[in-house]
Structure 1
């Protein structure tokens, strides 16, 4: 009985817990405060060996989810990634991610380009959790939609991205913005909802 108790504690303390079939996990980097839980089938998690994973929690619930974190990406925490019923999260090379929550569902994707820089308290959510149907039918009126962040995008503190939104390369998203639609490259956007406030810009570290 004591051995079973110790085994149960060990299972709860393990940083990577996988339940299901045909799940593939490759976390090649060192980590601290990291936890990955998979409850489902045919899911794939791939983290390059040169990445940093600190204070990061990943929960996959359901089937057919993909997480790919490319080389030299830094998740410095606190970060949380949740995928429910499929979808792909891609974080590009040399991206710097601090206090960010990624919420994916219903097969829609989130993509973050290389050299992006995220501040704290940022949320990206590509689905609504609950479906809304057209009256008298089974037609869903609020389907999940992809979110795309281009290359070298600077995202300031307290920003939220809703489904279907995107920001193209070399742009800046101002403090406290709510991003609800698509924006071009080389611009500054800000506000609730976000609007373009400056064009033809670039930024440096």
Structure 2
């Protein structure tokens, strides 16, 4: 089923739509399976986007956003993808979910141009002697207020804590990125600790504005581990226990939407 008008989501067969009808601007949603659930909060606009449900029993949760979503998402069966509020897409980002793995993205992130997020290598790699598979797919977690630089690739098993910065053209696979750190390179490595970032663009700044922001005395974007911090591995395990998509939706709502600032902190 090809959907190019949001109102068509109200007449799905063998699949479910929950929430507010999104606005589709030069965008389409293709559903080629059954028992899938799409959740859209209010203020969801898909711009030049494509969402493909290529299998069964998957959940895509799109939170309310002050900005347009610019996404190509491929969901291939038994996957869960949660995208939090008010993420800024400065160009098209690609997300591919495979082999029953999941993608969780927090809120207030910046996705620069040509971001790629993939939980799988797609093809199989084996050890020549043991004949055992080496490259199992793994879920990806990106916390709140994360800046992904242009051309960065976030690959299987990567966990990025809130407040972090990923440099342009970085490649991260099975990486553990603590909160308030900067990683860059291919493969990416730690380049700075104890960093945070602001979303202002410096392009039009005068010398006076530069001087004004030479220091920013705030703890708003400094993240710590506290009693409300969630464990990424536990989240993944919890999601995979659920047999029905509506159970996953309820889990997202009860777990993520009620958690505090440090929900996705990582050390």
Measured against the shorter chain, the TM-score band is 0.7 to 0.9
Higher strand share: 1
Higher helix share: 2
| In 1: Cα distance, 2:3 partner to 2:180 partner | 45
> More displaced, 164-173 or 45-54?
45-54
Residue 109 (1) aligns with residue 102 (2): yes
Q: Report the TM-score when normalising by structure 1.
A: 0.84
Residue 204 (1) aligns with residue 178 (2): no
| In 2: Cα distance, 1:88 partner to 1:142 partner | 20
- Point out where structure 1 has 5 or more consecutive residues left out of the alignment: 1-10
| Cα separation, partners in 2 of 1:36 and 1:132, compared to 1, 3 Å | same
Find the counterpart in structure 1 of residue 209 from structure 2. Answer: none
Q: Report the TM-score when normalising by structure 2.
A: 0.66
- For the residue of structure 1 that corresponds to 2:136, the secondary structure is coil
| Cα separation, partners in 2 of 1:28 and 1:170, compared to 1, 3 Å | same
Q: CA deviation at 1:109?
A: 0.5
> More displaced, 54-63 or 135-144?
135-144
Cα distance per residue 1:140-183 (max 9 Å; x no partner): 54222001101100111000011001210101100110011111
> More displaced, 182-191 or 23-32?
23-32
| In 1: Cα distance, 2:2 partner to 2:161 partner | 41
Cα distance per residue 1:50-92 (max 9 Å; x no partner): 1221111001111111100111263443x20001122111110
Instruction: Give yes or no for contact 1:21–1:42 (8 Å, CA) kept in 2.
Output: no
Superposition pairs of residues 152-167 of structure 1, within 5 angstroms: 152-167=145-160
| In 1: Cα distance, 2:166 partner to 2:116 partner | 13
Instruction: Give yes or no for contact 2:3–2:29 (8 Å, CA) kept in 1.
Output: no
- Point out where structure 2 has 5 or more consecutive residues left out of the alignment: 200-267
Superposition pairs of residues 58-137 of structure 1, within 5 angstroms: 58-72=51-65, 74-77=67-70, 79-97=71-89, 98-132=91-125
Find the counterpart in structure 2 of residue 8 from structure 1. Answer: none
